[in-house]
Amino acid sequence: MSTPEWQLHFRPTPAELAEAMASVGSTAFRGSARAVLIVYWLFLGLCAPLGLTFFFWVGVELAGGPGISDLPTGGLPVTFVVLALASLWIARRVHFHTSVVSAQSRFGRATAATITPDHLIIATQHSSWQTDWADVEAVTRGPKVIAVQVSAIAFALPLRAFESPVDADAAYQTMRDWVAQTR
């Protein structure tokens, strides 16, 4: 029986990198760190829009518009919902921008990945990075990528870089097995 190995060549897209980053983020934020992440999203989706809602309507009143007590019944809730959705959309755009910057960087433009039982090598035109499976925190799979997490770094291995969906499935399960063997 031959030892499984994969040699991939690809240029990751911002969407693939964003998916890998999100996947790694979900495994990196465990325990008390998960609570911090929840508070962060509650602040962005609840507290900030609530404050902005009142700031907006006080500004309208100071500019000569209707006072808060004179607003139509849905005025405050509608304003809050619009600002909450805008706040969450902006936050997601900021996070997605990181993947755009990464995809356009010299490191992200073109990549080769060598996957062997001993290590994962990520190489570009100018550099090479190697990690043994013992240093890999997690291997996760999403709709477009297999994400390899080393510390808080996400390496995206696009499914399209594999020979077939079956080959991608085999690589994913094999990498997870290699990581499990190091525990």
- The number of beta carbons lying within 10 Å of the beta carbon of residue 181 is 10
The tens digit of pLDDT for each residue in 141-156 reads 999 999 999 988 899 9
Residues in contact with 122: Cβ distance below 8 Å, sequence separation at least 6, in sequence order: 111, 112, 113, 128, 129, 130, 155
How many angstroms separate the CA atoms of 22 and 18, rounded?
6
Confidence band, pLDDT 50/70/90 cuts, at residue 106: confident
CA 105 to chain centre: 17
At residue 15, the pLDDT reads: 95
Dihedral sign computed on CA atoms, order 82, 88, 90, 92: negative
How many angstroms separate the CA atoms of 2 and 133, rounded?
19
At residue 2, the pLDDT reads: 67
How many angstroms separate the CA atoms of 153 and 173, rounded?
20
The tens digit of pLDDT for each residue in 32-48 reads 888 888 888 888 889 99
pLDDT beyond 80 at 117: yes
The tens digit of pLDDT for each residue in 170-182 reads 999 999 999 999 9
Residue with tokens 């090479």: 128
Helix axes 75-104, 14-28, angle to 10 degrees: 110
